[in-house]
């Protein structure tokens, strides 16, 4: 298995996860639900900033990535293993969609 995330990044995610878990515990909120809600908010903000051609969307994308990694940490999942699965799935899915598109295009032209 290839490593996507360094020890440095994993250590930082664990630290962030501990702090945000503690904050949500103090607030009596379900941590995973807070993460999911924040992911939705960040996705919308990224879209808005991107449409405005505001480069800050890149920082917000990093924030979204941290939230996603924190959700994996909450589930006690190894992000490298998950990403390995996702790389494979994306490659297969995109290749399949390209093949489908070419077949459909060929039928229209034929």
| Cβ atoms of residues 13 and 62 within 8 Å | no
pLDDT, averaged across the chain: 94
Give the pLDDT of residue 110: 60
Q: Largest Cα–Cα distance of the chain, in whole Å?
A: 65
Query: Mean pLDDT throughout 4-32?
Result: 94
pLDDT at 45 over 80: yes
CA angle 57, 58, 64 (to 5 degrees): 85
Question: Which of 55, 69, 86 is CA-nearest to residue 15?
Answer: 69
What is the arithmetic mean of pLDDT over 78-103? 94
pLDDT at 83 over 80: yes
Question: How far is 67 from 39, CA to CA, in rounded Å?
Answer: 6
């Amino acid at each position: 298995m290839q490593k996507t995330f360094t020890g440095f990044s994993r250590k930082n995610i664990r630290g962030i996860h501990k702090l945000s878990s503690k904050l949500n515990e103090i607030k009596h909120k379900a941590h995973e639900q807070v993460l999911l809600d924040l992911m939705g908010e960040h996705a919308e903000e990224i879209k808005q900033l991107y449409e405005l051609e505001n480069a800050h969307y890149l920082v917000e994308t990093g924030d979204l990535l941290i939230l996603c990694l924190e959700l994996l940490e909450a589930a006690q999942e190894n992000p490298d293993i998950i990403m390995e699965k996702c790389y494979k799935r994306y490659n297969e899915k995109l290749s399949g969609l390209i093949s489908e598109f070419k077949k459909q295009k060929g039928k229209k032209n034929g």
